[in-house]
Structure 1
Amino acid sequence: MPRVFLCLAVVFLLIASAVQAQEASRLETIIQRGTLRVGMTGDYLPFTYFDKAASTFRGFDVDVAEALGKALGVKVEYVRTAWPQLSADFEADRFDMAMGGISITPEREARGLFSRPIMQEGKTPIARCADKGKYQTLADIDQPGTRVIVNPGGTNERFVHANIRNAEVRIHADNLTIFDQIVSGNADLMMTDSSETMYQQKLHPGVLCAIHPDKPFDHAEKAYWLQRDPDLKAFVDRWIEKAGEDGSFKKIHSAWFE
């Protein structure tokens, strides 16, 4: 009887080894499929924006995705998602990687891999320029009567809930129109990534002002969120490194941030 079990164990081991050998890595699957599936929210300029009229994405990370797809020799297929459902869509394997201003968090790291960081920044306020001096610190902001607006489902909402106790917090689901709420006076400020505050300041000169974007309240890194495949991570990391060395990454960055 023990010999029978031993033989069965050997057979199962051989079968498992054969199956493992036949399983392609995520990187190999992408190349064989001919498409890189990229998840994007499409509501976070300058990183990603979905143009409904043209049914296309544009933005910094869209240009990066296209360059990465070219390096892989595949087409890029964009999969639209949203911040509240980003993690669920990632775990459902709706895309190979998520791009579009994704911050590294422990929760996301538990579900997948991150590329090497592409940006260092943190949360900082943006308000009407006339009120810029009123909201320099978290203590200044967290006062009764202050109206803080935030988009749901991401690190912005998490930061607000962790730091705001006394001010009024308003949830605004449309990240594309949230800054209009500040311009029109329906909210006093938003706290978001410094890169976004500087971009919105550029879009609303003299109206909206980024408040000390060079000295944010916290520190975060942006990167690309990858399905758990070491080969895919190695390729993306190496591509980011080479794009930094040859200046192509800086060229894309300058087109959107400068």
Structure 2
Amino acid sequence: MKKLLTIIAVMAFCVSAAFANSNDLWEESTLNQIMKRGELRVGLEAGYMPFELKNKKGEIVGFDVDIAKRMAKDMGVKLNLVNTAWDGIIPSLLTKKFDIIMSGMTITPQRNLQVNFCDPYIVVGQTILIREDLKDEIKSYRDLNDPKYTVSTKLGVTAEKATKRYISKAKLRLFETEQEAVMEVVNGKADAFVYDLPYSASYYSENPKNLVFLDEPFTYEPLAWAIRKGDPDFMNWLNNFLAQIKGDGFYDKVYKKWFLSNSWLKDIQ
């Protein structure tokens, strides 16, 4: 009988300890702190078009900002955008100056040693603009990998490295600026322009004539929101939130607004 009572007492203690530990984890959760504070603090650097940038009124706007607004709304709290220099954005997160980084941050092994990343919300790899008369010949970067084609891009960027690696057989022309490189295609002096998705999408939305946009990235550069380590509760909420906005059409709406349209350009500084 005594043995049975001892076992029951031990089990009760374990349940009580587990419950207390669960409460402690909830109290420490960033999500709980946000709810108590009534404010979601988002860290970003307003300089990566079209993810986050300033309009003529000095307000921070962009793709990430629209998603952050929806995030705060779904939490039932106010949104506070904390503009932070890029080289200090991870240290500022770790010292709790804000709750989350939403600033077009690429997942890398080095950053992942310091922070936890949510599920990727967009892949910003290299994409291609081609001459319209080549639309039946060129469906992907693989079709461009031929000596008969000339590819243009900017000097010293990841697009140059990607072109040399994946389209090595084509003739490569390098320029000091993106504008010079893409104009080679517009003027018929090159067959294709290789560059990252945001720039190519923005350029194409403004200049669709005589161009075809191959918008499927052929390099993998996933972007994700970053949070402090050891917070599974906040991570779970954020991943479910991302799945929700992709499922209910909100994500597609803001994607089209910022990546497939140029109407926002008139309001930018």
Query: TM-score, normalized by length of structure 2?
Result: 0.61
The one-letter amino acid of 2:249's match is G
Q: What residue in structure 2 maps to residue 198 of structure 1?
A: 201
Aligned length: 219
Shift of 1:222: 2.7
Change (3 A) 1:246 1:192: closer
CA distance in 1, matches of 2:154, 2:84: 22
**Letter aligned with residue 233 of structure 1:** M
* Correspondence for 2:253: 251
What SS does the aligned partner of 1:29 have?
Answer: helix
Question: Which residue matches 1:36?
Answer: 40
Shift in CA distance, 226/170, structure 1 to aligned 2, threshold 3 Å: farther
Q: For each residue in 1:74-106, what CA deviation from the matched residue of structure 2 results, as whole angstroms up to 9, or x when unmatched?
A: 222222245xx35x3212324322224333222
- The residue correspondences of 1:19-58 to structure 2 (distance < 5 A) are 21=24, 24-51=28-55, 53-58=56-61
> Identity of counterpart residues, as a percentage?
27
Residue-by-residue CA offset, 1:109-140 (whole Å, 9 max, x unaligned) = 2221222222345223558989x99xx67978
Q: CA deviation digits over 1:158-189, x for unaligned, max 9?
A: 56567759979778xxxxxx64454678xx96
Aligned to 1:10: none
Contact 1:47 1:59 in 2 (8 A): yes
Which residue is equivalent to 1:90? 90
Residues 1-258 of structure 1: pairs in structure 2 closer than 5 A: 21=24, 24-51=28-55, 53-82=56-85, 85-86=86-87, 88-93=88-93, 94-120=97-123, 122-125=125-128, 148-149=153-154, 157=157, 160=160, 179-180=178-179, 182=181, 191-193=195-197, 195-206=198-209, 210=213, 212-214=214-216, 216-228=217-229, 229-258=231-260
Give the whole-Å Cα distance in 1 for the aligned partners of 2:181 and 2:162: 22
What residue identity is the alignment partner of 2:82?
V
Q: Would you say the 8 A contact 1:114–1:223 is kept in 2?
A: yes
Q: Contact between 2:105 and 2:225, CA under 8 Å: does it hold in 1? A: yes
Quick one: which amino acid aligns to residue 195 of structure 2?
Answer: M
1:41, distance to aligned residue in structure 2 (A): 2.8
Q: Please give the alpha-carbon distance, in whole angstroms, between the structure 2 residues aligned to 1:158 and 1:106.
A: 18
Question: Aligned pair in 2 of structure 1 residues 159, 200: CA closer, same or farther (>3 Å)?
Answer: closer
Q: In structure 1, how many angstroms separate the alpha carbons of the residues matched to 2:119 and 2:84?
A: 23
Q: What 5-or-longer segments of structure 2 have no aligned partner?
A: 1-19, 185-189, 261-269
Larger Rg: 2
In 1, distance between residues paired with 2:173 and 2:182? 17
How far apart, in 1, do the equivalents of 2:253 and 2:205 lie?
A: 19
Question: 1:2-38 deviations in whole A, cap 9, x for unaligned?
Answer: xxxxxxxxxxxxxxx99x9496222222222332222
Secondary structure, aligned partner of 1:116: coil
Pairwise CA RMSD of aligned residues?
Answer: 4.2
